[in-house]
Structure 1
């Protein structure tokens, strides 16, 4: 399990991120149109998974904005913004912000994504939500880079994630 902090208070996740070099776990998430999206639908693209607790927090919103800006410059790469927010909240935020270069997906139905990627909080005020993480996956499903952000209020290292794609 990962030990991270929320406002300096220690909290735990249920596991650890997939190891770099391992195959990324399969997933099925819900898109903003309520359709199911599986990782197999992105098989020909490299993936940046921007995982976070909720679009309704400042840091999470900023991560979406930042990746939206950078995603348009990435060749054969999709940025998936993943939380347990309802798809309606994600659609509302992205629509209001003019976010068009990332895809928002939700783990609200089953929570399996958070469990299989080891990112669900098991303690603390955000218990059952997803921790702030980045997972970069190559076209063959190999994990190229991971980051478990140690303080939930901090932004991820965008450049390290994007450098993994070079």
Structure 2
């Protein structure tokens, strides 16, 4: 279990992020077109998992905007923006913002992604949502970088995540 804060108040997660050098766990997430996407759909590519509680908050929305901008410059890399928001909310947000360089995915059906990756909040006002974190998976399916943002209202370290790709 990891502990992060929300405006200084402790919130616990269901586990720990995967260790670097380990094989990334497979997942089944729902895309905005309601299709199912798994890790194997992105085989042979670098993957940035931008995970957050809800796209309807300022910090979460900004992380999607920032990674959308950066994704246009990344070769052989897909940015997956993952939350428990409904696919309709993710589609609405990205459509309204004109964001088309990221892939929005939802863990709303059973929360198995959050459980598998150890990042679900298990208490506090955001219980059952995902903590804010970045996980990078290389072309071989290995985790090469993780960041669990210590204060949930803060943005992730974009520079460190992008640098980990090189």
TM range (shorter): over 0.9
Counterpart in the other structure of 1:63:
63
| Per-residue Cα deviation, 1:43-82 (whole angstroms, up to 9, x for no partner) | 0210000000000000000000000000000010000000
Distance 1:22 1:62 in 2: 29
Offset at residue 102 of structure 1 (A): 0.2
Distance 1:135 1:122 in 2: 20
| Per-residue Cα deviation, 1:16-41 (whole angstroms, up to 9, x for no partner) | 00001111111110000000001100
Counterpart in the other structure of 1:86:
86
Distance 2:34 2:44 in 1: 23
Distance 2:94 2:134 in 1: 19
Offset at residue 7 of structure 1 (A): 1.0
Distance 1:73 1:95 in 2: 20
Q: State TM-score, norm by structure 1.
A: 0.99
Which consecutive segments of 4 or more residues in structure 1 shift more than 3 A?
Answer: none
Distance 1:8 1:93 in 2: 28
Counterpart in the other structure of 1:164:
164
Task: Mark the runs of 5 or more structure 1 residues left unpaired by the alignment.
Answer: none
Q: State TM-score, norm by structure 2.
A: 0.99
RMSD over equivalenced CA pairs, Å: 0.4
| Per-residue Cα deviation, 1:86-139 (whole angstroms, up to 9, x for no partner) | 000000000000001000000000100000000000010000000000000001
Counterpart in the other structure of 1:72:
72
